[in-house]
């Protein structure tokens, strides 16, 4: 009788562990998917900004800039909880704002410069993330 009880307790523990492990995996995958959606949108809006800068479409530059800024404030953007990540996010927003301000005053050179600064901020943040991952 005692042996049977021990086996059932063990069985319960094993199933709980399995449920917990699978549960957290599932959450991870779900979270990753949400982050991926944001990152893909970011690329889409950045490409829209390039197209608008190349065509000197000031309205579209402002539109793309507004979408990029809004995206950078979304929860799923804040995937990395680190002060440095906030700094890179602010660099990104500042560059997008410069692009937008220039577009509003119909300054194509300023908008192009803002676009380039934004692109550099993409590369800088990704570079830092790769470094952090390496040391994890
Ligand atoms: C403040 C940091 C930061 C900035 C700025 C940033 N990104 Fe990202 N990006 C991330 C993070 C975090 C990920 C997810 C990386 C991961 O999980 O491996 C990511 C992922 C991506 C991905 C998906 C990569 C893949 O392997 O599928 C693309 C595409 C992307 N970013 C494009 C851009 C573009 C374009 C810009 C600039 C317009 C930009 N990012 C600016 C942080 C940033």
| Confidence at residue 24, expressed as pLDDT on a 0 to 100 scale | 41
- pTM reported for the whole predicted model: 0.83
Whether residue 58 has its Cβ less than 6 Å from ligand 1: no
In tens digits, what is the pLDDT along the chain, a chain of 136 residues?
566 667 676 666 666 555 444 444 444 677 788 889 999 999 999 999 999 999 999 999 999 999 999 999 999 998 888 999 999 999 999 999 999 999 999 999 999 999 999 999 999 999 999 998 887 6
pLDDT given for residue 106 in this prediction: 98
Distances (CA, A) of 42 to 22, 25, 67, 109: 30, 26, 9, 23
> Residue 15 has what pLDDT?
63
Q: What is the pLDDT of residue 27?
A: 46
Which of 47, 51, 124, 126 to mutate for ligand 1's pocket (most ligand atoms within 8 Å of CB)? 126
Is residue 42 lining ligand 1, measured as CB closer than 6 Å?
A: yes
**How many domains does the chain fold into?**
1
What is the span of the domain harbouring residue 13? 2-135
State the CATH number of the domain containing residue 85.
Answer: 1.20.120.10
What's the chain's length in residues?
A: 136
Report the C-alpha gap between 95 and 22 in whole angstroms. Answer: 41
Residue 4 has a pLDDT of 65
∠63-116-43 over CA atoms, to 5°? 55
Contact predicate 102/114, CB 8 Å: yes
Give the per-residue pLDDT at 2.
Answer: 60
CB of 96 shorter than 6 A to ligand 1 = no
């Amino acid at each position: 009788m005692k042996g049977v009880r021990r086996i059932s307790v063990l069985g319960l523990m094993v199933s709980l562990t399995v449920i917990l492990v699978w549960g957290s995996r599932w959450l991870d995958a779900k979270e990753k998917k949400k982050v991926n959606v944001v990152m893909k949108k970011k690329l889409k809006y950045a490409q829209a900004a390039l197209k608008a800068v190349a065509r000197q479409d000031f309205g579209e530059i402002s539109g793309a800039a507004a979408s990029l800024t809004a995206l950078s404030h979304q929860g799923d953007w804040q995937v990395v909880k680190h002060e440095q990540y906030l700094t890179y996010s602010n660099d990104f927003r500042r560059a997008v704002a410069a692009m937008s301000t220039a577009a509003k005053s119909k300054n194509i050179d300023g908008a192009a410069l803002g676009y380039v600064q934004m692109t550099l901020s993409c590369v800088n943040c990704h570079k830092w993330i790769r470094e952090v991952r390496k040391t994890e």
